[in-house]
Amino acid sequence: MNDLIKKAQQLHSLTLEEIIYLLQQKNNEEELAQAADIIRQKYVGDGIHLRGLIEFSNICRQNCLYCGLRRDNKKIERYRLNDQMIVEMAKKAKNYGYKTVVLQSGEDVFFTAGMLADIVKKIKEMDLAVTLSIGERSFEEYEILKKAGADRFLLRIETTDEKLYDKMDPGMSFINRRRCLADLKKLNYEVGTGCLVGLPGQSMESLANDILFFQQIDADMIGIGPLIPNEDTPLAKVKSGDFSLTRKMVALIRLLLPEANIPATTAMETLQPNARTIILCSGANVVMPNVTEGDYRRKYALYPGKICVADTPEQCRSCMGNKISSIGRYISTDKGFRQRNI
């Protein structure tokens, strides 16, 4: 086991079988986390990048079994922010010290590429980096948004097991998801992706293949989160994803993609208090505090037990700053683009 961890540290390469072995072991979580933290410090340093998250619409055309925003969920209170509200929240995010804003929504096609491009242009005038997380669009739409100034795009694959993908994401196409990621790469976005840990029917081999896929596409950012069952979805009664396994996934991704930006996702804190600081000490270097204002935070109900829904953006910024200081790290003052060192 220790030889494999050393191999990952030195070569940033493991076989499928070696990754499966490390994921299966019960007594290696701390060793993996410590090794990943060393590689994190070496390749991306002690700075932590904050991305201000603006959840501008919870309307979605897709029907993923695990997601509270799914089309067939009739219990959720739907909303859309208008362009002035989005731009105003971005302006406040800049005043709080953020260098990047993340515009995130369900797959809400009310927002055309042209509408979103106008919003992106206004935000870019504030000297902010812009990340989009709006789902599947055409090459032409992605191109319009890139020309408007969008820097990054988050599109999680969720699972690279095609049969599992088809089951979890009815009506969607695994091939089209791959096409979207390839299009984003062609257009020179910084591309973020990731997976869910704990999907029913998911195997260790599937998770290991996810990691190899992230390497294969040379992902710039990888977000890993545990499944948190939502009572208003078909997966209401399944078990939550395992925190320890999620942590090991983060550590292995840092070891195998040493330059990548890896967030400590908010969902982890639903499973364990102080999870984000634990994950930041296990290879992660990004946090995405919510800068959405008012009751919209509660309405963006991906999963139950979401933390900080009653906090203001200012409280979130202050709280995260204190957590980062408590582990001897600091908030980065740059925009957090991937630095290629290998």
Tokens of 298: 């509660």
Tokens of 267: 């969902």
Measured in whole angstroms, how far is the alpha carbon of residue 159 from the centre of its chain?
Answer: 14
In CATH terms, the fold of domain 2-331 is: TIM Barrel (3.20.20)
Q: Is pLDDT at 1 greater than 60 in this prediction? A: yes
Instruction: Tell me the pLDDT tens digit for each residue of 15-38.
Output: 999 999 999 999 999 999 999 999
20/22 Cα distance (integer angstroms): 6
**pLDDT value at position 120?**
98
Which percentage of the chain shows pLDDT scores above 70? 100
Instruction: Tell me the pLDDT tens digit for each residue of 206-225.
Output: 999 999 999 999 999 999 99
Which residues carry a binding-site annotation? 60, 64, 67, 133, 158, 177
Instruction: Tell me the pLDDT tens digit for each residue of 110-131.
Output: 999 999 999 999 999 999 999 9
Which residues carry a binding-site annotation for (3R)-3-methyl-D-ornithine? 133
Which percentage of the chain shows pLDDT scores above 90? 91
Give the pLDDT mean for 99-107: 98
DSSP 122-135: HHHTTT-EEEEE--
What is this structure's pTM? 0.96
CB atoms within 10 A of CB 41: 13
Which residues carry a binding-site annotation for S-adenosyl-L-methionine? 158, 177
Which residues carry a binding-site annotation for [4Fe-4S] cluster? 60, 64, 67
**pLDDT value at position 342?**
56
Q: Where are the domains of the chain?
A: 2-331
End-to-end CA distance of the chain: 25
